Amino acid sequence: MLYSVSLAEGLDNVKLSAEQIAGTDYFARELRRVEFECFKDAWLEQHILSGTYEHDRYISHYEVRLYEKGMLCFHGIIDTSFTSYDAKTDIISFTCYDKLKLFSKFSDLKMLYSLIDGYSCGYCLGYMIQGIENKISLTIPAQWNNTYTPLNIQENQLEILKIKWKELLSKFNGWNSYSLKYGLCDIGNNLVELQVLIISEIPDESNRKKVKILGRKWIFYNTICPVEDTIQAVDEESDWFDIQADCDEYIESNTLFYQQAVVNALYVNGKSYSTALSDNDGFLDTASEEIPVYFSGNAIPNSIFPKGFYQNGNEQTERLKVLKAVLMLHHLTIITDNAGTLYLLNKVEVNNTLINIADQDIIEFKKKRINRSVPDTSILDVLLGDNAKLKELISSYYSEYFSGIWEIEMSLDNLNKYNLHLFDKLQIQGIQYKITELQRDTINDEYLIKGWQI
């Protein structure tokens, strides 16, 4: 619901915060905010100050739109936990936020992430919004599918797993011979599995047989994050069999999950996995201590697999943590337009149209090297698998990205002359910059701008 307060009714001290791609902490954008004051009336006393007309968690039933010269410049929610009333002056102070505020208000929402294809970045945003809309009667408009460019970090022969090979073979010390099955297989849904199967049969003097079987599997979730499948692991040693058919049946029943054909190299959806045993690795005395698995291609997953369902069956995972993880993985941000619609965008994007800035319109201009901390990659711990390599790649990517950026802060005269937005490309004295923060100062008729040199 919307409630309008006109200037005639005493609207005063209106403050609209800047639009921005990234805040002081590059990885946590400040919300867009409107603060204003107005005199109390009967409607406001009943519908705001009474606390009756509220959703859960201090969210008013009523939303706010702010207009400037007839143009909509903000649409958001009223956070009544910041609403105050001064009885002496009869003035109510409001603080309103864009609807991204609801994400932190409902940060405890969880769900069972169980799609066999994983979850795209857009899906992670969509499920966060869906969870909030299911909790309170409120609509969060968003465009979250195909509005962003995924991050691409190409790797060549990146070591993503080491198998303790000699340790596995040592379990067959004293068994005269064994058969080996070692390699990779495509298990569908863009997932690759590494299988190890070792089987040994030994006879006694009366030609009876005893069997020992060892089976291990690792699945590579989130492209390069291995998970050992302990459910389908096999560690079996039989009693003596008098009949060969019983021996064969025992082997078959204990290797049901190891029937796929395996290869040394596998190419799945543009990504390459490889591993191999040497001739010497078939013998305990000459075997390598460890066997590596290598990856080549884009190491950043387009669809992610959060922890919970895939490994633990029915464990739910916090939606906001999953969303934050994909934002960091793909260098994304969520912004809102003046109408309150949310957009999922890549921070490196830039609008194609070039806007030339006249020197005489520049009131103040400062330029410095960007100084941002390396991200806390612990948010990626919400993803399934051993993500140590993924964290290294992300930290390295952002460190390199920051090292090459010059940041500007400027004041630009004449709001009517320039129609500026986030991601716009400016040209100043022959150098191009992308707008990363923008605020309109209507009192002084100027833009306050931050940007990155392109």
**236 contact partners, CB below 8 Å, separation of at least 6:** 211, 212, 213, 254
For the beta carbon of residue 445, count every other beta carbon within 10 angstroms. 12
Give φ, ψ of 259 to 5 degrees: -95, -15
Strands 209-221 and 192-203: antiparallel
CA quadruple 240, 244, 245, 246: dihedral, nearest 10: 0
Question: pLDDT tens digits, residue range 264-299?
Answer: 999 999 999 999 999 999 999 999 999 999 999 999
CA 106/CA 64 separation, integer angstroms:
20
Extract the tokens encoding 386. Answer: 């051993």
> Could you tell me the sign of the dihedral formed by the alpha carbons of 24, 28, 32, 34, in that order?
negative
**What pLDDT shows up at residue 311?**
74
What whole-number percentage of the chain has pLDDT above 90? 78
Q: What is the pLDDT of residues 102-154, one digit of tens each?
A: 999 999 999 999 999 999 999 999 999 999 999 999 999 998 766 678 899 99
- Of 361, 275, 379, 412, the C-alpha closest to 25 is 379
Q: Is the predicted pLDDT of residue 441 greater than 50, yes or no?
A: yes
Instruction: Please compute the mean of the pLDDT values over residues 343-362 and round it to a whole number.
Output: 92
Cβ atoms within 10 A of the Cβ of 190, count? 17
40 has pLDDT over 60: yes
pTM score, whole prediction: 0.90
